[in-house]
Amino acid sequence: MHRVVVTGLGVVSALGVGREAHFNGLAEGREGIGPISLIDPSRLMIKIAAEARGYVGEDRWDRQQRVLFDRITQFALTATAEAVDQSGIDFASVGERTATIIATAMGGLHTQDENYRLVYEEGKNRVHPFIIPRLMANAPVSQVSMAHGLRGPAWSVATACASSNHAIGQAFQLVRSGAAQAAVTGGTESVLCFGGIKAWEGLRVMSKDGCRPFSKTRNGMVLGEGCAILILERLEDAKARGAEILGEIVGSGATADAADIVAPAVEGAAAAMQIALRDAAMDPSEVGYINAHGTATTLNDKTEAAAIRMALGGRAEDVMVSSTKSMHGHAIGAAGALEAAACLMAMSRGIVPPTIGHEEHDPEIALDVVPNTAREVRVDACLSNAFAFGGLNAVLAFRAWRG
Amino acid sequence: MSDEVHDRVVAIIAEQAMVEPETVTPDTTVEDLGLDSLSLVEVVFGIEEAFDISVPFNANDPTSSDFDIGTVGKIVDGVRQLIAEKA
């Protein structure tokens, strides 16, 4: 068994392009949610989203590349380049044994949406030859592995809103067990195309006016998009080459509710947290911060609060719990990766990101949700929760690296 | 008051609840029919498609939506009002 540390992080989110922009947004409590501007919102009922507006694909990739790179692949390549650069890892030597496990819940939805539009609405009988390699869910994984020469185990993971946590959890286990020497992992997603937003509208769980997790005034989720990529290495390898260590992944837990296709269940969520804690040999009293799933739907937040109480017992009354979705929106398959970034920031910089949009205390929640303003405090251990539609729960446990 | 709007709304609700339309009365509640939130979303969708209207319904908190889904009678009244507003 190897200890597994994070030595690189790259981010694209509504808070900006790059990990520093993401960290700064989280620390400032900045709202990345605003009027939809990337597409014409006139036929949409929901007209707000957390768009990665700072990201302009045309500035980064030439026409030949864009023909093959959906927005999610572009995000993944951008974030991976940043993470690899920070890490300083040399894939010429370890690429042979490096895993690439990158989540996306929906795959290349922009590509799919645009091509359905062409064949159905415009009645075209021919589409571009590269639609399939552009939209397939493993396109980000494959393009990242090709760009960096990563030849170890590689696959994409799709478990709706828990995709990233499942992916990071698997990558962690591959490195811990020795099945891979290093891993490039995280999640990438953009459902912010017309058909994607329309489909989410149909569920009637989206807010028209803002994301207010845990606030009594919450009225639904707000879609986001983005990508975060983590470089995982064995502790001994990272130390041997003098790499900066951003934090340690110490446990993962996953369960299925086996109950409902959309509604969450307290027991399944709590069990995933307990398994992650056990896997990490971490006592609940050690947990300083929980990055909540916190979607701002009535049901999720209430269920999650109860699950945290069930899993952590008395510690639940003191632990800081925030939902950074209030700032970067719900990035679906990328959510857990953007939130792992928030955990790494909390531990390495001593800044706990807030839950913004907090307007009114909800007695059914009654946790320390770090309302509206970030808190400067030392955090030595965190959990990060993700609970997917379909009742699939995945929780990661992190520890700070104090060298 | 039985009319086309009433009959179509009841038919949509009855189909979703898997009951005979005759057993549905204006006082019947969604709980009586065993409709969960996902079924209600489908009912609202069925109504919107049938009457070409937009129903202000938030599945997060159905009771605080602008559209009263307390009883079948109230749903029918709400649909009538939305049709009138559209005209």
- Contact partners, residue A62, CB within 8 Å, separation at least 6: none
Which of A204, A209, A218, A262 should be substituted to probe chain B, the one whose Cβ sees the most B Cβ atoms within 10 Å?
A204
| Residue B1: per-residue pLDDT | 53
Residue numbers in B near A220 (CB within 8 A)? 58, 60
Mean pLDDT for chain A overall: 97
Decide if B37 and A263 are in contact by the 8 Å CB cutoff.
yes
- Contact partners, residue A59, CB within 8 Å, separation at least 6: none
| Residue A263: per-residue pLDDT | 87
Q: A233-287, pLDDT tens digit by residue? A: 999 999 999 999 999 999 999 999 999 888 899 999 999 999 999 999 999 999 9
Per-residue pLDDT band at A305 (split at 50, 70, 90) = very high
Other residues' Cβ atoms within 10 Å of the Cβ of residue A304: 28
Q: A153-212, pLDDT tens digit by residue? A: 999 999 999 999 999 999 999 999 999 999 999 999 999 999 999 999 999 999 999 999
CA distance A313 to A346: 23
**If we measure between CA atoms, which residue out of B59, B50, B58 comes closest to residue B83?**
B50
Residue with tokens 């920031």: A345
Cα dihedral value A109, A113, A119, A120, nearest 10? 130
| Residue B2: per-residue pLDDT | 62
Residue numbers in B near A222 (CB within 8 A)? none
* Adjacent-strand bridge partners of A225: A190
Q: Which of A219, A262, A297 sits opposite B38 (nearest CB)?
A: A262
Q: Out of A65-79, A359-373, A380-394, B2-16, pick the least confident.
A: B2-16
Q: What is the DSSP letter of A354?
A: P
The pTM (predicted TM-score) of the whole model is 0.94
| Residue B27: per-residue pLDDT | 95
User: What is the percent of chain B where pLDDT is above 90?
Assistant: 64
How far A221 CA lies from chain B's nearest CA (Å)? 9
**If we measure between CA atoms, which residue out of A269, A264, A350 comes closest to residue A312?**
A269
| Residue A220: per-residue pLDDT | 96
214-253 of A, contacting B, C-beta below 8 A = 218-220
Q: A99-154, pLDDT tens digit by residue? A: 999 999 999 999 999 999 999 999 999 889 899 999 999 999 999 999 999 999 99
CA distance A184 to A86: 13
- Chain B residue whose CA is closest to A297: B60
Question: Is the predicted ipTM greater than 0.85, yes or no?
Answer: no
State both tokens at A146: 């090709």
State both tokens at A364: 């059914």
Q: Give the pLDDT mean for A13-40.
A: 98
